[in-house]
Amino acid sequence: MDASPNSLSPVTVTASAAKRIGEIIRDDGKPDLKLRVTVNGGGCSGFQYDFALDDAQTDDDISIERDGITVLIDSMSLLYIGGSEIDYVDELIGSAFRINNPNATASCGCGTSFSI
């Protein structure tokens, strides 16, 4: 995949997402954990987002800090989500992390998979 202009743009984290990440880390009891966001092949639209807690940063990770939390994204995943906004929404139908990805040409109804 060629790097689009958006793939080279920074990823941002909303205040709502930072707050929820901080709550999850505090509940886990390990203050040095970070949220790792990766893009994997699969899902109903071709690619899917994966969220996990991690305590190790690798050399190819970019690190995004906001309000005392850290989000890690590996360089390969950044090609697919550069320019995106990581948000946390709490709606009547449920709450979840959501990635507002300008690179996605389509996404599934649940918002966890996308195509480019």
The tens digit of pLDDT for each residue in 56-100 reads 999 999 999 999 999 999 999 998 889 999 999 988 777 888 888
Query: How many domains does the chain contain in total?
Result: 1
Mean pLDDT in the chain?
83
d(Cα 113, Cα 98) in Å, to the nearest integer?
Answer: 11
Q: Where do the H-state alpha helices sit in the chain? A: 15-28, 75-81
Q: Residues 112, 99: contact at Cβ < 8 Å?
A: no
Question: Tokens 């990581």 identify what position?
Answer: 86
> pTM for the complete prediction?
0.81
Domain that holds residue 100: 5-115
User: What is the pLDDT at residue 4?
Assistant: 45
Q: pLDDT > 70: what percent of the chain?
A: 79
Region 1-10: mean pLDDT is: 52
CATH (domain of 55):
2.60.300.12
What band does 1 get if pLDDT is binned at 50, 70 and 90? very low
